[in-house]
């Protein structure tokens, strides 16, 4: 199972549903195996997080802890993307509407410190 374009909540929820279904038919999945499968199917945007978890000295996280970590990372990635898009838009608007002429060198307005 892979995440594809799904959000973390949908991906983790689907994985948990499948695991619960296996448990219902007497084929329980160990939490550590669930975490490993979760990490293996993640979108490449989470590769740094996967590496951090794999190299962690704090011990192997539970599925619930992993879900929380990935949700937080997804939120951070979304915020970074919004900031990046806003900065690009501001830069684009500024460069297309700028009336400054700095051909002779930029100087602060007279009387400013």
Residue whose pair of structure tokens reads 């951070």 in the numeric block: 76
87 versus 100: which is more confidently predicted? 87
- Mean pLDDT for all residues in the chain: 79
> What pLDDT band is residue 29 in, cutting at 50, 70 and 90?
very high
C-alpha–C-alpha distance, residues 20 and 10, integer Å: 15
Taking each helix axis from N to C end, the angle separating 47-54 and 31-40, rounded to the nearest 10 degrees, works out to 150
For residue 97, is pLDDT > 70?
A: no
For residue 34, is pLDDT > 80?
A: yes
Check residue 60 and report its DSSP letter. P
Closest CA to 44 of 17, 77, 68, 69: 77
In the structure encoding, which two tokens stand for residue 1, read together? 């199972």
Residue whose pair of structure tokens reads 């499948």 in the numeric block: 18
Q: Residue 9's pLDDT is what?
A: 94
> What pLDDT band is residue 52 in, cutting at 50, 70 and 90?
confident
**Spatial contact of 49 and 65, defined as CB atoms under 8 Å apart:** no
> From the centroid of its chain, how far is CA 112?
44
For the chain, give every domain's residue range: 27-72
Q: Residue 28's pLDDT is what?
A: 94
For residue 85, is pLDDT > 80?
A: no
C-alpha–C-alpha distance, residues 45 and 25, integer Å: 34
Please indicate, yes or no, whether the overall pTM of this predicted structure exceeds 0.85. no
């Amino acid at each position: 199972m892979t995440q594809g374009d799904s959000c973390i909540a949908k991906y983790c929820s689907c994985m948990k549903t499948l695991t619960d279904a296996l448990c219902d038919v007497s084929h329980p999945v160990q939490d550590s195996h669930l975490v490993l499968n979760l990490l293996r199917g993640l979108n490449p945007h989470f590769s740094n997080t996967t590496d951090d978890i794999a190299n962690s000295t704090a011990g192997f996280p539970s599925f619930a802890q992993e879900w929380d970590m990935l949700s937080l990372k997804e939120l951070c990635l979304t915020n970074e993307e919004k900031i990046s898009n806003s900065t690009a838009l501001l830069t684009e608007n500024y460069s297309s509407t700028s009336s400054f002429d700095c051909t002779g060198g930029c100087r602060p307005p007279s009387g400013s410190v």
